[in-house]
Structure formats: structure tokens, C-alpha cells
Amino acid sequence: MSRPLSRTRTGTRARSRYAPDSGLTTRMVGTMFLIGLLYVVLVGVLLAVLRGAWPIILIFVGGMFIAQFWFSDRIAAFSMGAREVTPEEAPELHGAVDRICALADMPKPRVAIAQSDVPNAFATGRSEKTALVCATTGLLRRLEPPELEGVLAHEMSHVAHRDVAVMTIASFLGVLAGIITRVALWGGLSRNSRSNDPIGIAIMLIPLVSAVVYALSFLLTRLLSRYRELSADRTAALLTGRPSALASALTKVTGQMARIPTEDLRKAQPYNAFYFVPAFSSKESLSRLLSSHPTLEQRLDQLARISADLARP
């Protein structure tokens, strides 16, 4: 199937048929604004403390930001073991993606498979042109075709709404703050331990400010992530018209997580923000509290309401 792509008379890409979500858009804008403020505060503190090194600071921060924006999606896909596959190698997966693209009237993303028994899927990419949708072998083995389509529709909603790109940028500040904290703790504090030394006091402030910035950016991205997962469930259910298939996939995948070895779950946990369902051990209550996803009950309740609405004459 050729890639469906609608264009306006001016040649620009038209919107997909995924239902727009003003709440998601508002939260993405708000998150980026607050992340921007934290970014300014962090760079301002670095410039104030290390006045003579401002060119190095700006080059370092700017270089990391550019690298994060342009390469983070590729790094994430590589880290999660995604291998791009052709229609000949994975005809059923490509066929499901083609059907979703036709329904949504959007370009077909690259399609990949990750060799992992953890049943999951994820999407990466800065835009529709660079998007990649990946399913694990564990997911493909466990789901029926309608359930798989529901999961893929969920992941492609992230691409259509561009929240994948926003999450990538939003998570950058936390990564940067964490690096600065480690560098300051390992290097600066050991050389400036005198409490009456102005330079030592200033350098001691760097890890403190960085830690606060990291914590705030972590909370901001978690709040956005939970909402965007509900939004993707909602828009995928409306696009396919089969919320029950997505609910079945959610129930099946979440139930199977308890049977996955703890070691495999721990390897997958750093990438939970990208996954369809977070990789959690049943005993990790703290991880669930700080989860990037809403609870299974919240997701199923929303899908049940959508199913009831669609059944009304």
C-alpha cells in the first residue's frame, strides 16, 4: 500500500484524522514554557558562578541541546533494540501500520521490531518524516490482530500529536541537570571544601540548584506523560472505532508483565516514558507512584466510557 498523504493546495501537509486534543496541546505548551524557565535559571546560575567560563558553558549547553534534539530518538530506538524491518520481513506488522495510516490519513512511519519478550511498543521521532513505530516480539506473539492495531494506533497518535518530540525536549533538562550535579559533586566540592571560601560556597550551590531543577523537570514530564497516554488511548479508540480491542490489549499486556523476569523488566524501565505500558514488577509501589503512565483502571474506565458513547444511536 502506498503511503497516504493528503496535502492542501499550497502543498503543506494537512492534519491527520486523529481527533485533536486541546488539553494535550495546552499541557505541552505549558510544560515547554516551564521547562524553558528552569533552563534559564540553570544556565543563569552557571553563568553567575562561573563567570569566566561563560563561552564554554554556552557551547556545552547548546551542543548538548542540539545533540539531544537531533539524535535522541535514534539513540532511544537503538537502546531499546529496535531493528527496522521491511514488508517482506514482517508483513502482518506492516499491514497493520498501513491500515492505521489509511484511517488516519498520515504518512507511514518506519516500522521496526525489537527482540524482547517484554510485550510492548513505542514510537520515536521528531516529526512524521522521522517517525519510527516499533513492536517487541513479545507483543507480536501475544496479541490478536485487532488488539495489535489498537496498540499501533495508540503509538501513532503520539506521532500525529507531536508529543513524542515534546517529551524528548522536555526530558533534556533533567538529563543536563543530572550531569551537572555529578560533575560538581565529583570535582568541585572536593577541591572547595572551605566554608568561608566564596568560590567553594558558589560551587556548592551548583549541585543543589541542579538537583532542584532535575526534580522539577522530572515532575513536569511525568505529569505531561500521564495525560498524553490517556490522550493517545482516547484518540486511538475513536480513530479505529474499537475501544474494546485496545482495552483487551492493555489488560493482556499489563497482566503478562508479572510473568516477565525481573531482570528483563529492569532493563526496560529506563525507557518507560516511551512504552505503551510501563515495565513494572508487581511489588514496585514507589515506581508506580512516580509512573509515566496512568493506572490500568484509569485507562480502562476511559475506554469503557468511549465504548458506551460509540454504542449510542
**Helix (H) or strand (E) segment spanning residue 225:** helix 198-240
Mean pLDDT of the chain: 80
Which of 108-122, 184-198, 212-226, 285-299 is least confident? 184-198
Q: In this prediction, what percent of the chain has a pLDDT beyond 70?
A: 76
Which of 44-58, 254-268, 274-288 is least confident? 274-288
Domain-embedded: residue 195: yes
Quick check: 239 and 17 in contact, CB under 8 A?
A: yes
CB-CB neighbours of 52 under 10 Å: 6
The residues facing 43 across adjacent strands are none
Global pTM value: 0.79
Quick check: 128 and 106 in contact, CB under 8 A?
A: yes
Residue 101 has pLDDT above 70, yes or no: yes
Instruction: For CA atoms 145, 246, 157, 277, give the dihedral sign.
Output: negative
Q: What is the DSSP letter of 51?
A: G
Structural domains counted in the chain: 1
Domain-embedded: residue 287: yes
Over the stretch 182-235, which tens digit does the pLDDT of each residue have? 666 665 544 554 455 555 555 666 677 777 777 777 788 888 889 999 999 999
Domain-embedded: residue 203: yes
Identify the pLDDT of residue 257: 86
Residue-number span of the structural domain to which 70 is assigned? 22-79+161-311
Domain-embedded: residue 221: yes
Domain-embedded: residue 123: no
Identify which of 58, 31, 27, 30 has the alpha carbon closest to the alpha carbon of residue 44. Answer: 58
Domain-embedded: residue 192: yes
Confidence of residue 108 (pLDDT cuts 50, 70, 90): very high
Identify the pLDDT of residue 202: 57
Which residues are marked as active site? 155
Quick check: 57 and 47 in contact, CB under 8 A?
A: yes
Top pLDDT among 71 and 120 is at 120
Query: Residues comprising the binding site for Zn(2+)?
Result: 154, 158, 229
Long-range contacts of 84-87 (CB under 8 A, 24+ apart): 84/110, 84/111, 84/112, 84/132, 85/111, 85/112, 85/113
Residue 9 has pLDDT above 50, yes or no: no
Domain-embedded: residue 154: no
Query: Residues comprising the binding site?
Result: 154, 158, 229
Q: In this prediction, what percent of the chain has a pLDDT beyond 90?
A: 38
Give Cα separations from 39 to 44, 64, 214 (angstroms). Answer: 8, 13, 10
Domain-embedded: residue 191: yes
Over the stretch 32-90, which tens digit does the pLDDT of each residue have? 888 778 777 777 777 777 666 677 777 877 777 777 677 767 777 888 889 999 999 99
